[in-house]
Structures are given as structure tokens and as C-alpha cells.
Amino acid sequence: MDLSVIVKILDEMEQTTSRLELTNYLVTLFKNTPSQLIDKVIYLIQGKIRPDYEGIEMGIAEKMIIKIISQISDISSSKAYQKYHEIGDLGSVAETILKNKIQTTLFHEKVTMERIYLTFDKISKITGKGSQEIKLKLFASLFNDSSPEECKYIIRFALGTLRLGIAESTIMDALALAFTSDKKNRKILESAYNVSSDLGRVSKILANQGLKAVSAIKIELFIPIRPMLAERVRTAKDALEKSAGKAAVEFKIDGERVQIHKTDKKVQIFSRSLENVTHYYPDVAEASRTINFKNIIIEAEVVAINKNTEEFLPFQELMHRRRKHDIKKIMENYPVFVNVFDILYASGKDKTNLPYIERRELLKEVITKSVDRRLSLIQQRIVGTVKELEKFIAKAIENGCEGVMVKQINSAYRAGAREFAWIKIKREYRSELADTLDLVIIGGSYGRGRRVGKYGALLLAVYDKKENVFKSVCKVGSGFTDEVLQELFKELGKYMIPKKHPRVYSKLDMDSWFVPTIVIEIIASEITLSPEYDAGMNSIREGFGLSLRFPKFTKKIRLDKNPQDITEETELVEMYRKQRNIKL
């Protein structure tokens, strides 16, 4: 499949923000893509070469691309950087510069999507001495055979910056229309994706074997399942009403949610964002091996503990585990307990369709077959009154938990779903604002006085799932220590961009802009109306969005969360309405 074919479609897509039009363009693209190539095209338009859980990265940085542009265009790297700061997109920089260069070489080989994918795949596997030069030559070989316009998209594929606003949901809509002519079949694709976490695989099976084969995609060991998520409510009374008056309540521990896959010979641990984190938790893997139960997938909350008192430590202490070196020393300083709360697979069978109460009984059987005290069943109680629930919440907080999870006793485990079968109530539920918010950093303003050389305030955003964009909601400057600000300043430097990101909506001018990547937790006194912020714009009052009053950083940098996992715009609007007692 020639690159020129896809470039034409992508150029047309860049001219629209309409989800319907984007879907139609994708339908055209998928219909024109050979079935044996569809998975690779899906990966490339998502800015990856394999599913996230495989953890494969190309290792192509902006510096390398600027070096290539400089080499093939005979302009200095400093001029290329200057152009980058003017335009804000390296793909467009390459196109602009190369259009002004007289073509001196004939195309040696057609640039096809197959060739791009194979080159990227080869680059991702190159390591060791001299690897950067080899990567540079391979990447440059694509440039030498491409038009300036094609170079633009090769760069965007490599950096994952297509700037088209294509969400996974849009891709699934287009796949359903392209291969079944019925958008309703998207639900089948979504179910398959939720248990396989691989949209490329789903698309290839659909294109080659049909919808029936997609329906046959089931849970497999060592392929992470997209986690089920909880809704939030304001009070214990609301939670019980949503649970039909009787519910199972569990401690909500301030740790990292993990999915543990185990056979007799192998253990792998995946984070909530589907990252393989086994190497960060060798002690968790060791404890899991003691479970005398074949072929299981369990979910747990890993929490750091004080090595002397065994009291729970804050989530941020657990993030020391994310360092690449001295893991043995870190394990000694930050030991963990593993609090298991669900089972999804056992003895070769999918258990997600079992009622919660049956999964819990099976889980008891599984955990009692472990001889490692680091592994235990999360505390739980069945409640039928508000008083019982509030008593359990108080007990959870006394035990160092951040709140409770309220679960419908007959509910199935629905991978990838967020619904009221699970409800979270945090310790802040009695305050003005019903919950903390997970927000992504999109901009920063420089500090003064003690904060010179750091950011004085950070601009934060919620996620608009429908449009696949991030909308500004507040600026936060309180709750940070100097050390955390210094750490954030350094980390945010990796994601700094010259202009506001194309998927960011904000009216404010900031000193710095960032690719939406780093997620932090915020608490505030209340949600307010504001004409300055884009979150919830026009949803409550014409010309007004939503913001947070007295926002404060809770000292939690959520390395376990992707930007798409943060508080959604619809959640924020609902929280405001409940706060103001506005009927939905």
C-alpha cells in the first residue's frame, strides 16, 4: 500500500474536526487497506508499532529528526529548531523546508506502509553501541525516497503526533462500518478490544475472518484486560440507592492497582494503564508464585508499607518503585503488601461473568492457598443500611485507607466499563467537593521569589472522551514542595512543546505548553462557573465553563494513569450539578 494513498486521506482528515467526517475518512482508508496490513495501519495512526502492554518504543527523539532534516536539507540544526518553534510541529517543519530544497536524487524505492512499519520495527530492536547512528540512517532512508508531504507523515507516525483527534472509539466505529456496514457492531469490537487490549489484532481478525471470529476473542493469560472502573457519588445514601439497598463494601487502599497473571512457571504484572511492571515488583511476583492454584488472573492493590510498623504509606512512596536502578535496595526501603480484590480467570476459564459474590468466594479459596503473608484478601463487608456503610467507611479511614469501594453483589466484571456497579467513596466525601480529581498538566507559568527556575503554577485539564481532547479546568500552585516542583520542572521538560497542543482547548496564555502526559491528583473546595476555562463550556450556563475553587495538589503524581484515564468532562459537569443540587 503506497504511502501516497494514505497521505491524501490524512490530509483531508486534518481539515476537519467533525467526528462524523473523521469516521467517514477512516472508513475509506480501511476499505482501501489490504487485509494483511490493516493491523499495522491501525498501530501507525495510533502512534505505536505494537499494543501498549508489549512496551515497545522506537526510541526516535525530536533531536534525531531535526538532525536528519538538517542533513538532507543542508540547513543548520539551529535554523530547523527555529522553524520548529515557529510552526510547532516537526512534520510540518520537514515539509516546509524540503519543499524549498531542489530534488537532487531520484526515488530509489517506493515508500509503502509495509516498508515504514518494517523500518520502524527494525529501529525499535536496535540497541547497544552505535545504535543511534544506525537508527538515524534507517530513518533517513525513508526520507530520501519520500516527497516533502510524505516526510511530514512519516515523522508524525514516528512521534505519535498525527494531530487528527482520532479516539479509539472513532477507530472502532469506522472498522464496524468498513467491514460490517453497521455501526452497531462496534459493541462487539469494543468487547473484543476490552479483553485483548489490542486494536490492531481486533482489526486484523475482523478484516480476515469476520465478525464471528472477533466475537470469539476471549481472555488470555499474559494479555492484560482493560480494567473495570467505578463511578462516584456524594454520600453513602446515594451509594446504597445505586446498589439496590444491599452492597459489598471494600477498603479502597491508596496504592497501585495491578493485574497479576500467573501459571506454574510464569508471573507477569500489569498496571492499570496496561504497562508490564513485573520488573518493578519482583517481590509481588515472588509472593504470587506461592498461590497453589493453576492459571489465574487476579486484581490487587499494591501498597507501600512502613518496614517497621507495617502501616500503609501514601501512594507517592510507592512511586520509588518506578526507578530503573537499585530495585533490590528500593524493595528493602519500600516493602509492599498485595491486597487482592477480584479474580477474572482461573483454571482455564473466564470468571468475569460470575456475580461479584461468587468471584469473592472463589478468591477466598485462591488466596488461602498462598503461604506468603504479603498477599491477602482485601477487607470487605456486606452492608444493607447507611449506618453500616458509614461505620465501615470510618473503619477504612482509621486503617489508613483513602475510602471504600461499594460493589453490587450480583454484578459481573465488565472489562473497560465505567458504571455504577462499582462506586467509589473517598474520605473527602463529606467535604464541599465529593472527590479528588485526576487532571493532566497542559501548561505552566514561571515562578517568582523562591520559585524562580521552577513553575509557579500549572494549568490542568479534564478529558473530553467524545471529542478526544483535553479542556482546561484550573491553575494550581499550592500543595507543592520545592523538591516536587523541581522534579516536575525536570520531567515536564521532556514534554515541552512550542505551542499549545492541538488536542488542548484553553483560552489562557502560558509561559510553557506540554504534551498532555503527566497526571496529578487535585483536591478543591468546590466546582465553580468560570468564563476563562473550557471544561464544561456552555453545559451549565451559556459562555461559562467550569473551574475549581482553591485547588490544591495532594502530593500524588499518578504515574499509573494515562491521560485518557483522568477525570472526564462529563464527570465534572455531573459533580457540579450534584454539588448544586440541580436535577439531571
Question: What is the domain-level CATH number for residue 123?
Answer: 1.10.3260.10
Do 317 and 446 belong to one domain? Answer: no
User: How confident is the model over 153-191, as pLDDT tens digits?
Assistant: 999 999 887 767 677 889 999 999 999 999 999 999 999
Active site residues: 252
pLDDT in the model for residue 84: 83
Q: Is 312 helix (H, G, I), strand (E, B) or coil?
A: strand
How many Cα atoms within 13 Å fall on the side-chain side of residue 349?
Answer: 7
Residue 72 lies in a domain: yes
* CA-wise closest residue to 504 among 548, 444, 558: 444
- As a whole-number percent, the residues of the chain with pLDDT over 70 amount to 95
At 167, which amino acid appears?
Answer: A
Mean pLDDT for the chain overall = 90
Name residue, grid cell 492541538: 502
User: How confident is the model over 13-72, as pLDDT tens digits?
Assistant: 988 878 889 999 999 999 999 999 999 999 999 989 999 999 998 888 888 999 999 988
User: How confident is the model over 470-504, as pLDDT tens digits?
Assistant: 999 999 999 988 888 888 888 888 888 878 887 89
More confidently predicted of 541 and 88: 541
Q: Is 251 helix (H, G, I), strand (E, B) or coil?
A: strand
Do 261 and 341 belong to one domain? Answer: yes
**Domain span holding position 455:** 437-579
Do 471 and 519 belong to one domain? Answer: yes
Residue 17 lies in a domain: no
Cβ atoms of 402 and 318 within 8 Å: the answer is: no
Q: Where among 371, 399, 430 does a domain terminate? A: 430
- Residue 326, pLDDT above cutoff 70: yes
Predicted confidence band at 448 (pLDDT cuts at 50, 70, 90)? Answer: low
What residues have CB less than 8 Å from 411, skipping those under 6 apart?
Answer: 355, 356, 421, 422
Predicted confidence band at 86 (pLDDT cuts at 50, 70, 90)? Answer: confident
Residue 369 lies in a domain: yes
Predicted confidence band at 453 (pLDDT cuts at 50, 70, 90)? Answer: low
* CA-wise closest residue to 282 among 354, 334, 352: 334
Task: Give the ranges where 165-219 is alpha helix by DSSP (H).
Answer: 168-180, 186-196, 199-209, 211-215
pLDDT in the model for residue 8: 95
Alpha carbon separation from 192 to 41, 46, 295 (Å, rounded)? 19, 18, 21
Least confident of 412-426, 438-452, 539-553: 438-452
Name residue, grid cell 457540579: 576
Kindly report the CA angle at 339 between 230 and 280, in degrees rounded to 5? Answer: 95
User: How confident is the model over 113-139, as pLDDT tens digits?
Assistant: 999 999 999 999 999 998 999 999 999
* CA-wise closest residue to 92 among 140, 162, 25: 162
Number of domains the chain is built from:
3
Residue 404 lies in a domain: yes
Residue 152 lies in a domain: yes
Cβ atoms of 198 and 86 within 8 Å: the answer is: no
CB contact burial 155-191 (16+ within 10 A = b; e otherwise)? bbbbbebbbbbbbbebbbbbbbbbbbeeeebbebbbb
Rounded to 5 degrees, what are φ and ψ at 505?
-105, 115
* Cβ atoms within 10 Å of 46's Cβ, excluding its own: 18
pTM: 0.84
User: How confident is the model over 359-406, as pLDDT tens digits?
Assistant: 999 999 999 877 788 999 999 999 999 999 999 999 998 888 889 999
Residue 210 lies in a domain: no
Q: Where among 386, 408, 430 does a domain terminate? A: 430
CA distance 47 to 380: 41
Do 467 and 532 belong to one domain? Answer: yes
Do 380 and 240 belong to one domain? Answer: yes
Do 397 and 413 belong to one domain? Answer: yes
At 424, which amino acid appears?
Answer: K
Cβ atoms of 189 and 214 within 8 Å: the answer is: yes
Predicted confidence band at 441 (pLDDT cuts at 50, 70, 90)? Answer: very high
More confidently predicted of 276 and 577: 276
Residues paired with residue 457 on neighbouring β-strands, in sequence order: 445
Write the CATH number for 303.
Answer: 3.30.470.30
CA distance 164 to 372: 49
- Residue 567, pLDDT above cutoff 80: yes
Do 68 and 153 belong to one domain? Answer: yes
Do 286 and 330 belong to one domain? Answer: yes
User: How confident is the model over 413-427, as pLDDT tens digits?
Assistant: 999 998 999 999 986
Can you tell me the mean pLDDT for 535-564?
92
CA distance 156 to 196: 26
Do 407 and 258 belong to one domain? Answer: yes
* CA-wise closest residue to 268 among 225, 217, 332: 225
pLDDT in the model for residue 446: 83
CA distance 155 to 236: 51
CA distance 230 to 248: 14
Predicted confidence band at 583 (pLDDT cuts at 50, 70, 90)? Answer: very low
Name residue, grid cell 523538591: 483
Do 418 and 497 belong to one domain? Answer: no
CA distance 251 to 152: 50
Predicted confidence band at 430 (pLDDT cuts at 50, 70, 90)? Answer: very low
Task: Give the ranges where 100-145 is alpha helix by DSSP (H).
Answer: 113-124, 131-144
Do 425 and 491 belong to one domain? Answer: no
Do 101 and 243 belong to one domain? Answer: no
What residues have CB less than 8 Å from 295, skipping those under 6 apart?
Answer: 221, 262, 263, 345, 346, 347, 348
Residue 543 lies in a domain: yes
How far does CA 459 lie from the centroid of its chain? Answer: 19
CA distance 500 to 466: 20
CA distance 163 to 500: 12
- Residue 428, pLDDT above cutoff 60: no
CA distance 407 to 168: 28
Q: Where among 377, 397, 430 does a domain terminate? A: 430
Residue 195 lies in a domain: no
Q: Is 409 helix (H, G, I), strand (E, B) or coil?
A: coil
How many Cα atoms within 13 Å fall on the side-chain side of residue 46?
Answer: 21
Q: Where are the beta strands (DSSP E) in 247-402?
A: 247-252, 256-262, 267-271, 296-304, 336-346, 349-350, 375-377, 380-383
Cβ atoms of 503 and 563 within 8 Å: the answer is: no
Cβ atoms of 442 and 460 within 8 Å: the answer is: yes
CA distance 69 to 494: 21
Cβ atoms of 253 and 378 within 8 Å: the answer is: yes
CA distance 290 to 300: 15
Can you tell me the mean pLDDT for 290-311?
92
